[in-house]
Amino acid sequence: MLFSIIIPVYNADKYIEKCIESIICQDRNKFEIIVVDDGSTDKTGIVCDEYSNKYSNIKVFHTENKGVSRARNLGLSEAIGDYILFVDADDWVTSDYIDVISKEIEGVDLLFFSNSRVIGEKIIKQSYGDAYAENRVETEELILNIKKQKYEYFGFTWNKCFSRNIISKNNILFVNDLSVREDEVFTNTYCSYINSIKFIKKILYNYREQTTGLTCKKISR
């Protein structure tokens, strides 16, 4: 089982090292990291290349600034793993991220794990597994319950593990010219092709919320 971890990055030299370090310290036989530098003008590209030169399972691609959707699509085209994970460059994962996902994804089309929200120095733990923890749920029932309970973070891609086979078989991509909620469109499209999903309470991801700068770039690029 191999995971392809796709990291689109733009001018994140303050954060990208922590992001990559949180992943690379885990079992490197289980994953590859695909970094797509989307035309950064700071030291992001240099930092990423240093990691690529040091670790054989890290691939870095430098492109003109074309937006996060195209960056993720490039990552998908280069991925060779059985499963796809997306990580934002200013976020980081827990030390058991890969081990937990590799156990929980077995026999499931989509895995949804919990996260922490990071606001400045404050970390707020959030769990989305209360209703479906350790259970497989048929898609039709799942979508109905999502509408009822309004899972706040369901549209994001960074708190999920996707099957590359399902993505490739159905030619699922991010909409290139969509700069807002592009991940929600991708997730909803993916869900239209699956039969099962699992929610887990375990927090595996730290999502950094910022009111200026980087967050604006995430949305508007």
Crossing angle of helices 182-191 and 139-149, rounded to 10°: 140
Query: Could you tell me the two tokens for 95?
Result: 């030390």
Is residue 90 over pLDDT 70? yes
pLDDT tens digits, one per residue of 100-125: 999 999 989 999 898 888 776 676 76
Helix (H, G, I), strand (E, B) or coil at 77: helix
Q: Roughly how many angstroms between the first and final C-alpha of the chain, as a whole number?
A: 33
Determine the pLDDT at residue 153: 63
pLDDT band at 142 (very low <50, low <70, confident <90, very high): low
pTM, two decimals, is 0.88
- 59-63, 146-150, 196-200: range with highest mean pLDDT: 59-63
Averaged pLDDT, 49-75: 97
Alpha-carbon gap, residue 180 to 105, rounded angstroms: 28
